[in-house]
């Protein structure tokens, strides 16, 4: 149904609104504006906690949120939490209001896609013009948005097709909604066709992004990469394209390239907690410890008042510093770990097992630094606490296995990981962490993946496609960095590629990293002879530079 402006007064009378602002005068001013438009129910909140509580009890048609709300949640974090808790309906209008215009704030606010963004000061006329446009669109597409809220994507797609047939001003909007619904249904060929249809007429950024996402899902990585690269070069401000490019680089076995993409993204928009966490993960995979630590600390700062705030962010920072200690045997950083753990114990003292988790990570720090005697004393005390604990998390046991590994007690570490794999065989996230830490895949999925990778690797080696083999094993090692077979196969692929085309420093560094992962291999390991041969070839290539 097409809604004209004549009907707007009647429409406003049936709307409800929530104003979120920490200044009473501003709340009152905006409230009077909305009442002048005809809105019958206007609620107000002075802070994010009160606003979210109101949204849990009532579904509003319009939410106007100031960005800066003092020391409490800001407008971006409110929007973030409403989306996280699925409290914000597609039928609701969320408008961000702010007096700030800094780049960091603007990009941060837009990351979570509010319906509109309004800068203070503004007049009643400006607000009405913005709201009129959004009210008309929401009213015109109400049935479609309702279907999406019910997760009835088939109905939403059918309604979009009916609306597109009208060829009115919402035609492009309906193509966009339909393409996104098809992506959510994992019907990637169909979503690809929708976005291609739009692009035949006009080169719209959202359609290019949708096409790129469809190609990614269809594993057409090179074509997707070309689309996203062009968008970045053309100055597209949608940060999603950087996230997509990082995923592509990672899937191509180029974690360093993925890290560079996300580093560029956080320079533009530094306030996305999830992107900062992804960047930290990549930096750790690439053993870029100082960069990883910087991102981990940023995650903790962004976590304040955020729905994503968790003590695990502090523990991840401790593990990050432990990784640097382990890599560089830097004893001076043990105190930094202890300081992080003191803060997390103080802040989350009412959380279960905070003390135990902290003790394990401190023991790990000493073990990584080569202070085995001190670490072992702490492990002995920890073991008593673990035995008496009735609710041990998987992460506690994973950290314990890592500590045993750093103490050189690989058998104990593997024994613990095997038990974990049996206990959590139906938990993919835990299984992935187990396989990341283990010398060989222990989960069913990991074992099956290893079989598939070995088969693909054999085919690539047989065809002398060493570059593709490097990509294959490089990608796999982002998931299973300690896997002996994968590290050995990566060494083999790198050695053969360098023997064929000449050695370069980047490839030698990757070879050295894989060699380090295999350094603890025992003489009775069936892979040991191959490992020694690869080391000899690597040393010859290294000396040739």
Q: Each residue of 422-472: pLDDT tens digit?
A: 999 999 999 999 998 988 889 888 888 888 887 888 899 889 999 889 888
Start-end of CATH 1.25.40 domains in the chain: 450-544
Start-end of CATH 3.40.50.2300 domains in the chain: 5-140
Angstrom distances, CA of residue 504 to CA of 118, 325, 488, 495: 53, 28, 19, 11
Domain 5-140: CATH superfamily is: Response regulator (3.40.50.2300)
Given this model, what pLDDT does residue 117 score? 87
Following DSSP, what letter does each residue of 15-46 receive, concatenated?
Answer: -EEEEE-S-HHHHHHHHHHHHHHT-SEEEEES
Given this model, what pLDDT does residue 105 score? 66
User: What 3-state DSSP class applies to 540?
Assistant: helix
Tell the residue number behind the tokens 């960005």, with chain if given: 67
User: CB-based burial of residue 382 (10 Å sphere; 0-12 exposed, 13-18 middle, 19+ buried)?
Assistant: buried
**Which residues of the chain register pLDDT less than 70?**
1-6, 101, 103-106, 108-109
**Helices and strands counted in the chain (H then E):** 28, 5
Interstrand relation of 116-119 and 93-98 (parallel, antiparallel or unpaired): parallel
Report, in angstroms and rounded to the nearest whole number, the Rg of the chain calculated over CA atoms.
27
Given this model, what pLDDT does residue 104 score? 67
Q: Each residue of 459-473: pLDDT tens digit?
A: 998 899 998 898 888
Given this model, what pLDDT does residue 111 score? 76
CATH number of 450-544: 1.25.40
**Three-state secondary structure string covering 332-399:** HHHHHHHHHHHHHHHHCCCCCCHHHHHHHHHHHHHHHCCCHHHHHHHHHHHHHHHHHCCCCCHHHHHH
């Amino acid at each position: 149904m097409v809604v004209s402006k004549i009907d707007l007064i009647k429409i406003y009378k049936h709307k409800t609104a929530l104003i979120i602002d920490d200044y009473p005068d501003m709340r009152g001013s905006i409230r009077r504006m909305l009442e002048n438009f005809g809105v019958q129910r206007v609620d107000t909140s002075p802070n994010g906690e009160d606003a979210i509580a109101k949204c849990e009890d009532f579904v509003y048609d319009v939410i106007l949120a100031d960005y800066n709300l003092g020391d409490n949640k800001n407008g971006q974090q409110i929007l973030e939490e409403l989306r996280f808790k699925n409290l914000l309906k597609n039928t609701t209008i969320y408008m961000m209001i702010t007096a700030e215009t800094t780049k960091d704030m603007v990009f941060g606010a837009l990351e979570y896609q509010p319906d509109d963004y309004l800068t203070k000061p503004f007049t009643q006329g400006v607000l009405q013009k913005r709201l009129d446009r959004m009210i008309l669109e929401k009213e015109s597409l109400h049935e479609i948005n309702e279907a999406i809220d019910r997760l009835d994507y088939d109905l939403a797609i059918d309604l979009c097709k009916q609306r597109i047939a009208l060829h009115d001003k919402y035609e492009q909007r309906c193509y966009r909604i339909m393409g996104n619904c098809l992506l959510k249904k994992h019907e990637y060929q169909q979503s690809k066709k929708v976005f291609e249809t739009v692009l035949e007429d006009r080169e719209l950024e959202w359609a290019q992004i949708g096409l790129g996402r469809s190609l990614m899902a269809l594993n057409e990585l090179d074509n997707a990469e070309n689309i996203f690269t062009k968008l970045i070069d053309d100055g597209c401000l949608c940060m999603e394209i950087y996230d997509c490019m990082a995923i592509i680089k990672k899937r191509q076995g180029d974690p360093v390239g993925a890290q560079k993409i996300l580093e560029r993204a956080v320079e533009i928009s530094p306030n996305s907690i999830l992107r900062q966490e992804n960047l930290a993960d990549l930096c750790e995979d690439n053993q870029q410890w100082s960069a990883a630590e910087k991102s981990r600390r940023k995650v903790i700062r962004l976590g304040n008042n955020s729905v994503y705030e968790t003590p695990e962010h502090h523990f991840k920072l401790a593990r990050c510093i432990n990784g640097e200690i382990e890599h560089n045997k830097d004893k001076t950083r043990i105190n930094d770990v202890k300081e992080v753990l003191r803060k997390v114990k103080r802040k989350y003292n009412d959380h279960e097992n905070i003390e135990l988790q902290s003790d394990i990570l401190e023991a790990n720090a000493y073990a990584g630094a080569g202070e085995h005697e001190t670490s072992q004393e702490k492990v002995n005390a920890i073991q008593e606490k673990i035995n008496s604990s009735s609710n041990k998390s998987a992460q506690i046991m994973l950290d314990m296995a890592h500590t045993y590994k750093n103490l050189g007690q690989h058998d104990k570490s593997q024994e613990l990981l095997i038990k974990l794999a049996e206990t959590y065989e139906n938990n993919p996230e835990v299984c992935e962490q187990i396989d990341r830490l283990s010398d060989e895949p222990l989960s069913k999925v990991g074992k099956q993946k290893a079989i598939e990778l070995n088969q693909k690797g054999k085919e690539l080696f047989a065809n002398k496609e060493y570059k593709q083999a490097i990509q294959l094993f490089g990608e796999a090692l982002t998931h299973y960095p300690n896997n002996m077979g994968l590290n050995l196969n990566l060494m083999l692929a790198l050695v053969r590629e360098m023997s064929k085309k000449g050695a370069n420093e980047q490839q030698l560094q990757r070879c050295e990293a894989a060699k380090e992962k295999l350094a603890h291999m025992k003489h009775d390991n069936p892979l040991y002879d191959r490992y020694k041969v690869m080391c000899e070839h690597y040393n010859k290539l290294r000396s040739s530079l």
